Amino acid sequence: MTETAPKVGPLRGRFITFEGGEGSGKSTQIKLLAERLDAAKLQAIVTREPGGSPGAEIIRHLVLSGMGKMLGAYAETLLFAAARDDHVHTVIKPALEQGIWVLCDRFADSTRAYQGRLGNVLPGVLNAMERVTIGDLKPDLTVILDVPVEVGMQRAAARRGSNAPDRFEAEDVAFHQKLRDAYRDIAASDPQRCVVIDANADVNTVAAGVWTALRDRVLTADPAKNVKRA
């Protein structure tokens, strides 16, 4: 990591992040949005955190296996920060500089919610980590998919089948309720950037809500930035 985020060229692509609890439908909705942008000739990449770059994927494996938990919340936060630093500088910023949209499944709000609210890592520490890893990179839009805890947990359980739950899926209902509250608070504290979508609906209804938010807050807000591919 560098002491402060290195300078980059002008970021011409759009940066859209998806957040929410376990099984809220982020991966499903990102895929649908990427297809819709492709149909509109807007070039986009889909990526995720933790992970998204070769180095960060190694850390993802470490964290989701539960090894980070043994080290405590602060060490786990450092692991997420190290993964983000690599992902931002090798994947996200280079794509944005080229005018490519980046659709990211989880980003810094996940650290705020999971490590901050649930792990009690102090805001000052999270602020310092963000200064180093993301600098002034701010999503153009953050879509927070909101589902009742039991719905999200059922979806996540159905999807993983007989596989063991990962580090965070294994937490109890109270943990996931606090998580949902944390995301709602994040949205309330930054309403210009965040939109909360009711994700307790069928896939197409949720996708329509996501598209409406994107159209109103991003596409029509600054149309000159919608660089069409050839």
Residues in contact with ligand T5A by the rule CB under 6 A: 20, 22-28, 48-50, 64, 80, 105-106, 110-111, 114-115, 155-156, 158-159, 166, 168, 199, 202-203, 206
* C-beta of 79 vs 99, nearer to ligand T5A: 79
Minimum gap (Å) between residue 101 Cβ and ligand T5A? 19
Minimum gap (Å) between residue 10 Cβ and ligand T5A? 26
* C-beta of 10 vs 172, nearer to ligand T5A: 172
* C-beta of 101 vs 183, nearer to ligand T5A: 183
> How far apart, in whole angstroms, are the C-alpha atoms of residue 225 and residue 13?
7
* C-beta of 70 vs 158, nearer to ligand T5A: 158
Minimum gap (Å) between residue 29 Cβ and ligand T5A? 7
Beta-sheet strands, E only, within 8-166: 15-20, 44-48, 101-105, 141-146
Minimum gap (Å) between residue 8 Cβ and ligand T5A? 21
Encoded tokens for 192: 């210009």
Distance linking the first and last C-alpha atoms of the chain = 36
Radius of gyration, alpha carbons of the chain? 17
Residue with tokens 């059922």: 154
CA dihedral 94, 48, 136, 62 (to 10 degrees): -110
Minimum gap (Å) between residue 155 Cβ and ligand T5A? 3
DSSP 8-state assignment for residue 42: B
